[in-house]
Amino acid sequence: MLYILRVCVGNAFVSFIGSEDRTPKKRFSEVQKERREQAQRTVLIHCPNKISEKKFLKYLSQHGPVNSHFFYESFGLYAVVEFSQKESVVSLQNVTRTPSLGTEAAIPFRSRYFNLKLKTPLNQTSEQSSIQCRNQSSPSSKKLFELLCCAESVDDQLNTLLREFQLTEENSKLRYLTCSLIEDVAAAYFPGCTVRPFGSSVNSFGKLGCDLDMFLDLDEIENFSTHKASGNFLMEFQVKNVPSERIATQKILSVIGECLDHFGPGCVGVQKILNARCPLVRFSHQASGFQCDLTTNNRIALKSSELLYIYGALDSRVRALVFSIRCWARAHSLTSSIPGAWITNFSLTVMVIFFLQRRSPPILPTLDYLKTLADRELQPFALLHISVPSPEVALSSCLLSLPGERPHDHGREDTPSPKACLVNATFSVGKRPEIGGGSQCSVTVRHAEDKCIIEGHNCTFVRDFNRIKPSGNAETLELLLKEFFEYFGNFAFNKNSINIRQGREQNKPESSPLHIQNPFETSLNVSKNVSQSQLQKFIDLARESAWILHQEDRDRLSPSNNQPWGLAALLLPSVANSTSLAKKKKKPASERIKNLLESIKSSSTENSTAANG
C-alpha cells in the first residue's frame, strides 16, 4: 500500500482565503507560466468588418484545433485565436504571404499578427452571423454613476466599481499576447529571452485601459549556460563588454526600440527614454490599444507585482477598496497618465495596504510576517528513509528530525521554522530487511523555494496563500472607505514614512513631502516625485470625502432621491471645487473639517460611554 501525503504542517494550514470569495487562487508564478504558454499558441488577426464567424473558425481549424477565440473592436475588427498546439501557428504562418503593396515596399517580418482578407466580398447577409465583440474599455462616467446610484449599499457600490473596471479574462489574454509578440521581436537578437508583463496588468489591481508594463528578461539565457557546465571545462560566449550594467541596458533597449520602430507590426510612436532612472522604450501597440513601457531586467518590480497580487488575493475587500481609491484619485486629478509631481496608482495601492495593516485586528499581514512564513533553507537533506510502525509515527519522527524543531530553536529569527515547511511524505508498508522492516517513509523537504535575493535585496516572502491565515476583521467596505480618508486626512506626513514591510509608521529618512518606502529596495521612496502641493490636495480631498460620508451617515434616515450618494458623491467634481473655493477663505476648509470630524467622533464616544454607563 502506498500513501502519498502532502502535509502543510502546524498552525499555518488554511484552505481558503478571503471573506467572500472562497475559491482557492493560483500562485502568481503558476498564472504567469500558464498565461505565457497560452499566449505562445495564440495569434492576433485583423479581420474584415464583414465576416462569417463560422467560416472563419473552419478556415483556421485546418491548421489544428482552436481552443478559444474572441473578437474585439479597436479601429477595425480583431480576433484573438488560441490554438491547442503551437504547431498550428507555424502551419498558419506557412500559408501566409507577405503583402505586395504596389508603390510601397513591405518588410517581410513573419509575426503572429496577421491580416485576413476576403478573396471575394461576402454578399449573402445570411452568411454574416452577428459577431459579438468583447469590450476592452472601462465604462463611461455616466454609466458608472448610473450603476453606483442603483447599488443597494456603499459596499455594493465598491464591489460594482471593481466588477466594472477590473481586467477581463479577454483583456488579460490580450496583454500576455502583446508581450509574447514583442518577445518574438526581441528574440531575433536574444534567442531564448522572455518578455514578461508586470505592474497593474498582472498584480490584480489593473483597470481596463491601464498601461502595459513589460520587461525583457535575459536572466534565463544566462542561467541556461550555467546549467550546461560540466566536467573540467567551462565554455563562455565571446561577448562585447561595456563599462556598466546601465550602459548595457541602454544599448539593448536602444536596439530593441529601433527594431520595434522599423519592423514591429502594429508598434507605433516608439520613444526611447534611455536616460531615465530606469531606462525604457515607450510605444503604442496599435492593434491592442495598449500603451506599452518596455524595460529590461526589472525583476524587483515583478516581485513587487507578485506581492501586490498576494495582498489582493488575501481578502476580497482589498481590491474593492484599492479600485475605489484609485478611481476617486483619478476623478479629482490626483493621479494622471502624464508623469509629474502627482501621486501614482502604485503609491495609492501601497497606502491602502498600509492602512489595512493598521486596522485592529489587521486585515493584511506585514511583509516581514510574510517573510517569516516563507520556506527557509534547511540543512541539506532531501530524502530520509526511516523504519516506523505507522505513517503517523513516521510523520512525527520526520518532523522531529527537521532542523529547527528542537524546542530551543523556536522563536529565533535565524533558525528555520518547521511550522512553515511543506513536507512531502511517501509511506509504504512492507518489509525492508536492510532497515529492520515496518513502514518506510520518504520525506522530501522543500528547500527554500520562496527564497529570493535580487541584486542584493532580500525579496523573500511566502508565495503559497494557503499558509496565510485569513483576517478575523469583519469591517464593512463602507467603514473602511470612511476610515481610510480619516486616517490619511490626519496622517503625520511631515514626520512619518509609510512602511508596509513593518506595518507601522517610521521616521522619515529624508525630507520628501510624501515618503513611502519601496518594499524591497528599502532605501528608495516610491513617491519621491510627489510635491507638497499635490500631497496637500490629497489631504484636503481625503478630509472632505470623510466629511461627506459622515454627513451621509447622519442623513441616512432621510435620503434625498435622485442625488448621487455614497461612492458616487465622492467621485463628483464638486468635492474638488469646494476645496478650491474653500482655499479663498481665511481658515482652510480641510482644517475646519478635521476639527468637526474630531468633535463628532468625541461626542459619539461620549454618547456610547453614557449609554453603556
Residues that bind Mg ion (CB under 5 A): 199-200, 211, 213
SS3 assignment for 195-226: EEEEHHHCCCCCECCCCEEEEEECHHHHHHHH
Show contacts with ligand CTP in window 332-351 (CB under 6 A): 344-346
**What is the spatial distance between Cα 585 and Cα 593, in angstroms, rounded to a whole number?**
14
- Any idea of the CA torsion for 467, 469, 470, 471, to the nearest 10 degrees? -150
Binding to ligand CTP (CB under 6 A) within 503-522 occurs at: 518
Choose between 89 and 301: whose C-beta lies nearer to ligand CTP. 301
Give the shortest CB-211-to-ligand CTP separation in angstroms: 5
Residue (of 372, 14, 454, 369) closest to 198 by Cα position? 454
Q: What one-character-per-residue DSSP string does 13-62 give?
A: --S--SSS--S----HHHHHHHHHHHHHTEEEEEE-SS--HHHHHHHHHT
Query: CB-based contacts of 332: which residues, under 8 Å, 6+ apart?
Result: 537, 541, 573, 575, 576
Give residue number: closest CB to ligand CTP.
Answer: 199
Residue with cell 476645496: 579
Q: Does 324 bind ligand CTP (CB under 6 A)?
A: no
Least separation in angstroms between residue 271's CB and Mg ion is 16
The helix or strand, by DSSP H or E, that contains position 250, with its residue range, turns out to be helix 245-263
Binding partner of 345, given Mg ion, ligand CTP, none, CB within 5-8 angstroms per partner class: ligand CTP
Classify strands 290-296 and 212-217 as parallel, antiparallel or unpaired.
parallel
Q: Residue 489 corresponds to which cell in the numbers above?
A: 486626512
- The two beta strands, 422-429 and 113-115, are unpaired
Identified binder of ligand CTP from the candidate list 179, 287, 301, 356, rule CB under 6 A: 301
Closest CB to ligand CTP among 185 and 514? 514
What track of x and - describes contact with ligand CTP for positions 205 through 224 (by CB under 6 A)? -x---xx-x-----------
549 binds, among ligand CTP, Mg ion, none (CB under 5 to 8 A by kind): none
Q: Quick one: what does residue 346 bind among Mg ion, ligand CTP, none, with the CB cut-off 5 to 8 Å set by partner type?
A: ligand CTP
Beta carbon nearer to ligand CTP, 210 or 452: 210
Q: Which is nearer to ligand CTP, 56 or 309 (CB)?
A: 309
Does 199 sit near ligand CTP (CB under 6 A)? yes
Instruction: Report the site for ligand CTP in 242-281 (rule: CB under 6 A).
Output: none
CA dihedral 527, 529, 531, 537 (to 10 degrees): -50
Which residue, 291 or 502, has its beta carbon nearer to Mg ion?
A: 291
* Neighbouring residues of 342: CB distance < 8 A, sequence distance ≥ 6: 333, 334, 335, 336, 529, 530, 534
Region label for 403, one of left (φ > 0), alpha (ψ between -120 and 50) or beta (otherwise): beta
Q: Using the rule CB under 6 A, which residue among 32, 88, 249, 304 binds ligand CTP?
A: 304
Q: Toward ligand CTP, which CB reaches closer, 42 or 525?
A: 525
**Smallest Cα–Cα separation from 483: which of 344, 313, 591, 358?**
358
Q: Using CB distances below 5 to 8 A depending on partner kind, what does residue 499 bind out of Mg ion, ligand CTP, none?
A: none
- Please state, in angstroms and rounded to a whole number, the distance separating the CA atoms of residues 250 and 244: 10
305 binds, among ligand CTP, Mg ion, none (CB under 5 to 8 A by kind): ligand CTP
Indicate the residue among 297 and 417 with the shorter CB distance to ligand CTP: 297
Where does this chain touch ligand CTP (CB under 6 A) — which range of 30-38, 167-175, 194-202, 476-484? 194-202
Please state whether beta strands 290-296 and 385-388 pair in parallel, antiparallel, or not at all (unpaired).
unpaired
Binding residues for ligand CTP, rule CB under 6 A, total 16
Query: If contact means CB under 5 to 8 A according to the sort of partner, which of Mg ion, ligand CTP, none does residue 356 touch?
Result: none
Q: Residues interacting with ligand CTP, by CB under 6 A?
A: 198-200, 203, 206, 210-211, 213, 301, 304-305, 344-346, 518, 526
